[in-house]
Structure 1
Amino acid sequence: MDGLDIELGASRIGKYQISKRLGEGATSEVFLCRDEFFQRDVALKRVRSAALLDAVDGPVYARFFAAEAALVGRLQHPNVVQIFDAVADPHAPYLVMEYVPGTTLKAFCRPDQLLPLELVVEIGFKCAMALGYVFREGLIHRDVKPANILAITNAQGLVTDVKITDFGSVLNLTADATVVHQVGSLAYMSPEQLDGENLDARTDIYSLGAVLYHLVAGRPPFEAASQAVLMNQIYNQAPAPLSGLRSGVNQAVDEVILKALAKDPKDRYANWDAFAQALSELISSHKVPRGQLQGVLDSERFNLLRSLDFFTSFGDVELWEVVHRAKWQRFPFGHALYRRGEEGRIFHIIA
């Protein structure tokens, strides 16, 4: 049949065993596959051949594929989806990525599915740290939106972690390739990105601010029936204060997110570290209710370790490894970790 990229009954794409179809769109389809060599499940995103043959948009889709393919094995961060392989099949090229079971943050943008405020701030901190890592690798994502942030959930449906995905629109600051301007999703695009100006990290800071706004309010910063009206709002209107859209929103939360959404990049956070620090301070200064998250949050653990001299030489990725692999426990004052003469097999960090 015309238009089908995977023949009926096909069980493999290249060397990857197909388990099931995960989703599909106008330009690509995604499969859960098995990498038998590494004995792991992977997500395989295959570009539809019809999309590449489109006379107008085909070259753009090909460039998006090439942008992601160039990142194979490059991004190694716990909150960024890894890209394992890219195959430039002449008819239907495909990417092989880390498989992340769960959903995307888009599922939690509905007014009846909103996440607790403290969890939104925690997600914001993790995304800011991840995108800061991406920027230090010389990359600007340019399409930060709820659908491009994967949410890992536990058995109770609570989001426990997130991962940035879909680098098809990425701007590689170190590459000589021709830049495709005005890519992204309009509701989350900064004014300077709409204008096709030279971009830096602050355009993604704006986009993450728009994502956090949507997660808090159940609606994006700006909404309109037409693109022209929406663009006018992005250029000229201030977003409505979050404190007026959801009960329990502290003014400090409003200030942090609205600063990220400033029209002029100079009025936003100067860099990702500053944005991440502002988000973490909302938690440490109790500007958001703790609600369901009564334990020590990952952001608190990360910042605690960062403050210790022992970890001065650790990079962010190594520090996140400690956060995730260590067993964290609270002990009352006077509790004996070891007794005299007792041999230990555990390395303790006391803070």
Structure 2
Amino acid sequence: MFDLQNIKTIGRYQILKKIGQGSVGAVYLGKDPYIERQVAIKVYRLPNDTGPEEIEAYKKSFFVEAQSAGRLMHPNIVTIYDADQQQDFCYITMEYIDGSTLEKFCKPDNLLPIERVLKIIFNVCKGLEYAHQNEVIHRDIKPSNIILSLSGQVKITDFSIAYIKRGHSTLVKGLFGSPSYMSPEQVKEEFITERNDLFSLGSVLYELLVGKKAFEGENEYSIMFKIVNDDPPPILELKPELPKTFGDILSKALAKNPSQRYQCSMDFAYDLRLALRSLKEAPKETHDSELLSYIQDLPFFNNFAESQINEILSASNLVKVEKDKTIIQEGEIDDSFYILISGQVLVQTGTEEVAVLEKGQCFGEMAYLTGEARSATIITKEECIFLKFSSTLLNGLSEAIQLLFFKNFTQTIIKRLSKGTTTKT
């Protein structure tokens, strides 16, 4: 068993306690004394029975995680802080998440609510989309590599066998990954793309919904054979109360041919959002005609056709918020934007109140358009109702609707500039 024995510090980090154990390494809870924050420290002992070349190969393999995840800064990916070598072991320090992995929620007697499962996988999609945009393929998505914090945050961790597509690749040759969650192309050691991670995520979704793995077998070889040759038991046979769309989503995510799978994480995320809506469809439909009529009268939607507004309602969230609640926080990174259906909101930069927005106005559109951090805080002055959108949802709408949104965003920005309002939320 790996143990640091009497070592009390690693680099500048104080060791508090062991929180994870492996055959050749361990994870410790540590503390950065300068920044006064807790960190997780992943430690790997270098072999002492091999030559210098083999040791360098081991070090290179270990630091794959630092090189891949270290370039990624996203709310749904565990942040890497530091990596180094001390004596005969290497270490990586990273963000400490107080919570647990999804493993314990894969048991039939401890399943999460379906709505919660969809939201978790949706957030994993967002993290994977960011990683893939930065040309990092995780290659080991599984329940134990997805952390759910006590506050409900979802974090992808363990990029130790990740593949960096551009530049000097740190790809380790051979068959790597966890057999139950490998894609067919990964099992066959073929060229992999981002769609490899989406197959693995489909396997995780399947397991979270029914409490059993999509591909089971007596040993690793039988599992891998099934991944390549067999389909998993249909989800609707195991859980017939699920809407039909769940079967469609998993069939696409777990397609043997990568070209028949979701082509990017946000495609997957969009269908998850539709599935989430299907769980709530019945109680919402009684209000659709009234809501449609009401929204048509809002200035922002004057140039939208009724059919287009119907499409928008099917892909947005209607949110009610109490008085004096913060909707957007200055400095946060989020691609959501809002259209105010009723009520008023206050716009603040720092402690200064700069504007009041009313029914029919939008906010948050600048962060959506630019991808930059929020430059203002939005607080409700009274009980408000909003339509909330994200880039994922908007990108899933028809091109004509997207063009109308951008046109209206432009007009909104021009009007604010002409009035001398510098609000950019």
The TM-score, its normalising length taken from structure 1, stands at 0.80
Contact kept in structure 2, 1:20 and 1:33, CA below 8 Å: yes
Structure 1 CA distance, aligned partners of 2:104 and 2:318? 25
Contact kept in structure 2, 1:217 and 1:246, CA below 8 Å: yes
Query: What is residue 91 of structure 2 aligned with on the other side?
Result: 94
Q: Quote how far apart the aligned CAs of 1:239 are.
A: 1.1
Considering only CA atoms, is the larger Rg found in Structure 1 or Structure 2? 2
Structure 1 CA distance, aligned partners of 2:226 and 2:22? 29
Which sits farther off after the overlay, 237-246 or 39-48?
237-246
1:57-96 paired onto structure 2 within 5 Å = 61-71=58-68, 73-89=70-86, 91-96=88-93
Question: Which residue, out of 383, 401, 404, partners 1:331?
Answer: 383
Question: Which residue, out of 201, 215, 221, partners 1:222?
Answer: 215
Structure 2 CA distance, aligned partners of 1:201 and 1:288? 32
Residue 182 to residue 280, structure 1, CA distance change in 2 (3 Å):
same
Structure 2 CA distance, aligned partners of 1:318 and 1:209? 31
Q: Quote how far apart the aligned CAs of 1:27 are.
A: 2.2
Query: What is residue 154 of structure 2 aligned with on the other side?
Result: 162
1:1-351 paired onto structure 2 within 5 Å = 5-8=3-6, 10-50=7-47, 53=49, 61-71=58-68, 73-89=70-86, 91-154=88-151, 160-177=152-169, 179-180=171-172, 181-286=174-279, 305=337, 309-315=365-371, 318=373, 331=383
Structure 2: give runs of 5+ residues left out of the alignment.
Answer: 284-316, 321-327, 329-333, 340-361, 386-422
Query: What is residue 346 of structure 2 aligned with on the other side?
Result: none
Q: 3-state SS of the aligned residue for 2:147?
A: strand
Structure 1 CA distance, aligned partners of 2:92 and 2:55? 17
Higher relative contact order (CA 8 A, sep 6+): 1
Contact kept in structure 1, 2:367 and 2:424, CA below 8 Å: no
Structure 1: give runs of 5+ residues left out of the alignment.
Answer: 155-159, 334-346
Structure with more strand by fraction: 2
Contact kept in structure 2, 1:187 and 1:223, CA below 8 Å: yes
Q: Quote how far apart the aligned CAs of 1:289 are.
A: 9.6
Residue 70 to residue 246, structure 1, CA distance change in 2 (3 Å):
same
Q: 3-state SS of the aligned residue for 1:88?
A: strand
Query: What is residue 344 of structure 1 aligned with on the other side?
Result: none
Query: C-alpha offsets along residues 113-141 of structure 1, whole Å, 9 cap, x if unaligned?
Result: 10111111111110011101001111000
Contact kept in structure 1, 2:16 and 2:28, CA below 8 Å: yes
RMSD: 3.3
Query: C-alpha offsets along residues 237-296 of structure 1, whole Å, 9 cap, x if unaligned?
Result: 111111222353111012112210000001101111211111112123436899xxx996
Residue 327 to residue 24, structure 1, CA distance change in 2 (3 Å):
farther
Query: C-alpha offsets along residues 125-168 of structure 1, whole Å, 9 cap, x if unaligned?
Result: 100111010011110000000000011124xxxxx221000010
Query: C-alpha offsets along residues 17-71 of structure 1, whole Å, 9 cap, x if unaligned?
Result: 1111111111211111110111100000100334x7579x977653331211224
Q: Quote how far apart the aligned CAs of 1:186 are.
A: 0.5
Contact kept in structure 2, 1:141 and 1:169, CA below 8 Å: yes
Q: Quote how far apart the aligned CAs of 1:312 are.
A: 3.7
The TM-score, its normalising length taken from structure 2, stands at 0.67
Which sits farther off after the overlay, 203-212 or 253-262?
253-262
2:156 maps to a residue whose letter is I
% of aligned pairs identical?
Answer: 34
Contact kept in structure 1, 2:199 and 2:254, CA below 8 Å: yes
1:6 maps to a residue whose letter is L
Q: Quote how far apart the aligned CAs of 1:235 are.
A: 0.9
Structure 1 CA distance, aligned partners of 2:196 and 2:282? 29
Q: Quote how far apart the aligned CAs of 1:310 are.
A: 3.7
Count of residues in Structure 1 that have an aligned counterpart in Structure 2: 317
Query: C-alpha offsets along residues 294-340 of structure 1, whole Å, 9 cap, x if unaligned?
Result: 9969xxx978528964444243x848x99xx976899367xxxxxxx
Residue 232 to residue 73, structure 1, CA distance change in 2 (3 Å):
closer
Contact kept in structure 2, 1:118 and 1:288, CA below 8 Å: no
Q: 3-state SS of the aligned residue for 1:124?
A: helix
Residue 296 to residue 48, structure 1, CA distance change in 2 (3 Å):
farther
Structure 2 CA distance, aligned partners of 1:242 and 1:27? 38
